[in-house]
Each structure stands twice: as C-alpha cells, then as structure tokens.
Structure 1
C-alpha cells in the first residue's frame, strides 16, 4: 500500500462513521480512486485489530462476481462467511451492476453486527430505489480525483518547499490529468495519458449514459458536451445552449439539452453550481455554471480547440477544492455585482471567494476587489490569484492561490 497516496480527508471521514448505523456510500467518477480508498481503509481496520475474516470485499466490475447470480445468491454467499459475535465489514464495489442491488444492500444493512460500504460511479445509485429504501440511513462520501497537493505528493514533490515552480507544476496538473492512474502514466508520455482519459470517457458515455438512457442521437449529445466543456465557468441555460447550437445548424430542443446535462452531472463528469441571490439570500433556479471533474478531460472534450481560458480553469480547480473541504458552493449574484463562489462551510459559516489569474491591469484589480467589496456583510472574503505578492484591501484577504490550494497560506481549511 506504500505507493498509494493516503487520502486522509476521505479516510478520516470513513473512520468517523465506522460501526455507526449508516450505510457508507462512496460515490464519484469512474477511476477517481474509490476502490483504492476502500483498500486503504481496510488497511486501517487491520491496524485497529480487526481480523481479515471479518472483512469481505466484492468487486462487481468483475463478471465472475455476479454473472448467473441473483442478488439473493450473493446475499447468502456473503452471510455464509460471517464471523459470529463479531462485527462484519462488507465492501460492495460498483454495486449498481447487480440487478435489484438495493435489496442486497438493505438485507445486509438489516443484519446485526454488519457495517456496509458501497461504491458507485453513477448518481443512479442514490437516485434509484436505494435512496427511498434507505432514506435517512446512509451517508454519501463523494470522492474527487487528486487535489493539486495530492498530485504533487504523487509526483514525490515536497509541498512545503516554497521554492518550487508551482505555476509550471500547476500547468502539468491541468494539462495532463488529476486521475490517480493517469498520474502514474505520466512517465510513459502524454499520449498514454490521453488514451487513458479517452478510454474512461468512452466507458462513461457508453455504459453510464447512452446505454442506460438509450440516447440515439450521439452526435447531438457530443456537441452539447463539447459546448459545456468550452464554457466552463460561464452561466448557461438549456435554452441558450439550444439557441446557440441552432445557429450552428443543429436542432436540439432545450428539454433534450436539460436531460443530457442531468446525465452528465449524474455521471460526475460535470458539477452543476446554482446561483445564489446575495440580497434575497436565496438560491436561484436559472443560469447555472458547470465545472469539470478533471481539467485534463478538456483535451478529450474540447479537443484541439481547447479554448477555455486559464482564469476559468483556475476557477474550476478552486471550485473542486472548496468541495473537497466540505463546503456547499453557489455562485453569487446581486443587481450590481457577481462573485465567483459563495460557500457554506461544514460548520455553517459563510465565506466568499473571487478567483482571477493575475492582477496585472488596474481595471482587473478594481473588478476583482470590487466584486467582493460590494457585498455588504462581515463574512470573510477572499481573492485568490497566482500573484506572488498579495495585498489585502478593505477587509478582503488577497491570497496566493497555490499556497491556498496546498494549505500553506495562513488561511487554513
């Protein structure tokens, strides 16, 4: 296990729910490290003195674990191996591949002295009958690919070394991939990373989306994906996507666009961020923004026309980091201002974040500081940029974004 990055935040979360009367659901993009996380977690359990026989792990991506078996066959197979008078830990990887999997999970959950952990690469797992069946009885732990800090650790860099060229390393991070296996492949060259990303994306589209939802017009679907990928961080609506594509000679109804966007969010390819009315303090229902789970996927989705500017990509990375740190995130809007992110922290506090690449021009300085200064309350406000020299203004904290991502700025999580 030594070559695995110890994904401490996720491990700590799992340990905090150990033996609690809740099903632990680990969700996230395919190949984002869910199986590895459970493997690391099982290592922790062994260190705590839990016997190997008390743990059972089933990978349902392997056909031999489910072909020709009903959910009840698997259920009794698992129960047969249970250790009596001890807690049994059951790990079901990609459980949505089992027909009627919710009955399997519910049956195990109802069994005394059983701690159940499941993973799934599609929100179908929780939008299905399982959520209804287990209402209030599960906790979802949503896993993301490597953070910038984890990426550097995987490449054996010492993130406390302030003399590293973080900007150059950041470009590697966003141009290659943050997916764990992809980082391993970098020794073999960019072509291998590209092939790997292409294979994952094809699997997601084929298995999780077009087959499941029976999409016949694959060209229309691909065009919508490309459009959203090229508009990271821009406010979008199904009707304006539909209108823009119509100008290109593609007739796709806005209701179809809306459905396709839902499928992409369900598969964890994109994350949808709602707008928040700063004055009325309420969530708005239109003009959401979409961020991509891994900036490296832009190579596949937007191809050679990868035109997303680096400011929006930086915004994308900051958004994912805010999620990792346990925040609920919105984009903020008021009559006279917009702010990139409004966050509710895990302890219920409000924070505001504005993100820009560099403060080179005076009008950029005024625009970025001004967006936060116009918010008339006393909650913390942060401006994150790549500038080495930062200067606070009117109560707004200006931080170097690389230090913030690495947790080495004086603004800790």
Structure 2
C-alpha cells in the first residue's frame, strides 16, 4: 500500500497545492479539447485512443485543470498504468485511505492513463460504471489492440471513443505562435511554406521546435516505434516475434503505399502466411500501419486483393528514408484517415473519401506542373461514375479545371477537378 500511496501522491500534486503545473497542462488547447469538455457532463466513459506521444496525457491534465475550477482537488484522481499496473479497486481504495474521500458515495472524477494495460479493463470499468454512478471515468490508451473489441463487448452504450491525432498543420502553426499567418495565407505564403517543410517532420507536440533532424528521427524510433514493438505488442499477445515486426516496418515504411502480397512476402521472409497476417495486424492495431483497400464502386464493396500499406502517420516513415514523393502521398493518407483507393483495368485513383453515397476521389502528384497524362485517370473516373468533383494535390499553384462530357447516347454531365498544393490543402483539411 505504501508504494501505491507514493505513486498517487506523486501523480496528483493538486491534492496539496490545488493546481496543475503549466508543464503538464500546457496553455495551448487543441481543437479536440473543447469537444472533450462537452463530454465530461455526460454519464458515459470517455476513451481517448491514439499513437504514443500525440498528446493524450496533456489533454487529460488540461481536463483536470478545468475540473479544478469547480471541483474539490481531492475529488479528482489521476493514475497512469504505464507507470504501475494496478487494479482499479486497489487504486480507489488507496486513494480513499490517502485523501479521505469515500469513492463509493462522493462525486469524483477518475482519469486513468493507458487503461489497456489493465487485464480485462472493459469488464472492470463496466463494474465501476454500473455500480457507482457518482464516478466519472476518463481513460486513455496508446493502442487500439483489443480496445474497440473490449469496449463493444463490455461497454456498449457506456462510452464515447475519441481518436487523438498528431497536430494538424493549423495546430502546428498556432502552437508555434505563428497563427497570424493563417489570417492571410496568400500574403504569408512564403512563410507558410517554410513552416510546412518543418511540419512534415515535426507534427508531434514535443518536437515542434527541435532543429536536429537526426535527433528527431531517433526520438520517433525510440519513443514510439521501439516502445510499441518491444513493449506494447508483446504485453498484449503471445508468441510475438519482435525482430519480424521491425523487419516488416523496414519493408513497408521504406515504400509507403506498397501493394501487399501475403504469399510472396511470407516466402521472402521464410515465415508462414498466418504468422505474417498476425504480425501485420499487430502493427495495424498499434497505430503503426494503415491498410487501404480497393473499393468497388458498382457493388460498394472492398476487395481483399491488392491491399496497400502505409505508415499510419507519415512522420514515422522518415526513420526509414526521405522519399518525399511517397511521403507526400502518405501525408494525404494520414490526414484523411484513408481506408479506400480505386483500381480497375490498370487505372488507379490514390484515395477515395467515402461519406455515405458521396465519393470524393483524390490523386497525389509530386509535381509543380500537371500534364494531360496526370489528369487522365481522374477524368476517366469522374466520367465513368458520373461524379462532379475530384482533387489533385500537388506542388504547384491552386487552380481548377472544368469539363463537360457529352458522349453520344447519354445526357452528358459537367465536372471539375481542383488542383491544390499540399500545404494549402492541409490548411483546409
């Protein structure tokens, strides 16, 4: 009990001084912060998920800072299971003994970092949720491994799940106190482009001002990739081959957007197809890999063949090379949370953004000038499926092309293709 008391006292300094350090609850509030505050008033458990180092813990501290404005500091409990894997009831009992708050009866706020470190966390939080309506639970996890499965199985109707992403380009500028550039992007275009080049490697809050690129890459590898591969995944699954995971990352990160062929890859690595499938799924669940599937427009289904793999967040790919052409494509995939692309008869569209019946095709070209050949797949797609708009993201100037097709035997239709530079598209995304 002494050990857990020491941890509780260390992690909850506001029990003594009534406030949260500015180093913990950073002054800058991200867009998602206000959405989370609105959820605090609801009964449901708030679950924050996302890659390591994206700022989930900072958000928890900012929520705590806000709670302290209207709540007794001793009624706000924070614990990090990454520091010490304790049982929820053990934590609550130690908390009651230490500060004298009856957690079974009094209104309290319990914030648990890395909840997935707790065995059967869904069942255990459900027991607390159902038995003690006086407790508001807010939890985080750096892995989706079993997260949604556990939540759906045990917490149906009892939770709100929010995925916390790395900084958007707008947030990056604001956090660097360059928000004034956003008031007139045309006037400040040169400065924005300069910041954009910096953003591509620095979209995590902790490293936005770092100059040393080698140090940044070492940070990404040791603080994210190595911790997930050597710690998070083996803690959750048995028979995990860490070397295989790192080998797969080296293959897929070196070539973002690579077509996945289980048969040839398993033969090349001299492993079973089952082992390969399992280990790729581990990397997916850990926010290290993103799988994109070929979408069939006519049937609104996806094909299991010709799947493509990208680093879940493009920044991680810099650890394995500086292929800007592929990084550029990866930036778009990450930013739209890409799930689908289109390929048929040798023609391909990089990404499809699907919202109900609406489909927006997006192509990415690492060019300053677009040729007719660069446009042909987009035009073909828009004509074939009679869609009104497509986007080509590239390195040139913003422009727009409109065209009308009046083929014999149909009524014809009009469509437009927006050409937009990546930096500007990210300001709008």
TM-score by length of 1: 0.82
Distance 1:274 1:4, change over 3 A: farther
Q: Name the structure 2 match of 1:410.
A: none
- Residue 412 of structure 2 is matched in structure 1 by none
Deviations 1:354-378 (CA, angstroms, capped at 9, x unpaired): 2222252524433454354344233
Matched, 1:319 2:343: no
Judge conservation of contact 1:331–1:339 (CA < 8 Å) in 2: yes
Helix, strand or coil at the partner of 2:208: helix
> CA, structure 1 residues 18+216, in 2 after alignment: closer, same or farther (shift >3 Å)?
closer
Q: Is the 8 A contact 2:258 2:310 kept in 1?
A: no
8 Å CA contact retained: 2:108, 2:136:
yes
Alpha-carbon distance change, 241 to 4 in structure 1, aligned in 2, over 3 angstroms = farther
The offset of 1:288, in angstroms, is 2.0
CA distance in 2, matches of 1:155, 1:28: 22
Point out where structure 2 has 5 or more consecutive residues left out of the alignment. 1-21, 404-415
Q: Match of 2:249, SS?
A: helix
Alignment pair present for 1:92 and 2:112: yes
Q: Distance in 1 between matches of 2:340 and 2:252?
A: 18
TM-aligned CA deviation for residue 275 of structure 1: 2.1
Q: Which residue of 1 aligns with 2:417?
A: 396
Alpha-carbon separation, structure 2, partners of 1:168 and 1:372 = 34
> For 2:90, what is the secondary structure of its paired residue?
helix
After TM superposition, the structure 1 = structure 2 runs for residues 46-61 of structure 1, keeping only pairs within 5 Å, are 46=68, 49-61=70-82
Specify whether residues 366 and 33 from structure 1 end up closer, same or farther in structure 2 by C-alpha distance, changes over 3 A only.
Answer: same
Q: Secondary structure at the match of 2:341?
A: strand
Match of 2:39 among 6, 11, 17: 17
Cα offset for 1:127? Answer: 5.1
Report deviation, 1:33. 0.8
- Larger of the two Rg values belongs to structure: 2
Following superposition, the deviation at residue 57 of structure 1 comes to 1.5
Matches of 2:281 and 2:45 in 1, distance apart?
Answer: 25
The equivalent of 1:332 in structure 2 is 342
CA distance in 1: counterparts of 2:65 and 2:304, whole angstroms = 44
Check conservation: 1:373, 1:396, Cα contact below 8 A: no
Partner SS state of residue 29, structure 1? coil
Write out per-residue CA displacement over residues 394-413 of structure 1, whole angstroms, 9 at most, x where no aligned residue.
32222232112112xxxxx6
The 3 A distance-change label for structure 1 pair 59 and 360 is same
Greater relative CO (CA pairs within 8 A, separation 6+): 1
Partner of residue 72 from structure 1, selected from 72, 81, 89: 89
Is the CA contact 1:341–1:353 (under 8 Å) kept in the aligned structure 2?
yes
Whether the aligned pair in 2 keeps the contact of 1:23 and 1:116 (CA below 8 Å) is yes
- How far apart are the structure 2 equivalents of 1:379 and 1:205? 44
Q: How many Å apart are 1:344 and its aligned residue?
A: 3.0
d(CA) in 2 for partners of 1:256, 1:288: 18
Length, aligned pairs only: 384
DSSP-derived class of the 1:393 partner: strand
1:209 corresponds to which of 213, 222, 233: 233
Other-structure match for 1:42? 64
Residue 295 of structure 1 pairs with residue 319 of structure 2: no
Note closer, same or farther for the CA distance 1:134–1:211 as it changes in structure 2 (3 Å cut).
closer
Which residue of structure 1 lines up, in the alignment, with residue 360 of structure 2? 351
What does residue 267 of structure 1 align with?
286
After superposition, the Cα gap between the structure-2 partners of 1:221 and 1:125, relative to the gap in structure 1 and judged at 3 Å, is closer
**2:190 is the alignment partner of 1:179:** no
Measure the CA separation in 1 of the matches of 2:368 and 2:344.
Answer: 23
Pairing of 1:79-228 with structure 2 (within 5 A): 81=101, 87-110=107-130, 111-126=132-147, 129-158=150-179, 159-160=181-182, 161=185, 162-174=188-200, 176-184=201-209, 186-187=210-211, 189-200=212-223, 201-215=225-239, 217-228=241-252
Aligned residue for 1:228, secondary structure, equals helix
Post-superposition Cα deviations, 1:306-352, rounded to whole Å, max 9, x if no partner, equal 263x23212211222223xxxx742123446322222234x874322
Match of 1:366 among 370, 375, 399: 375
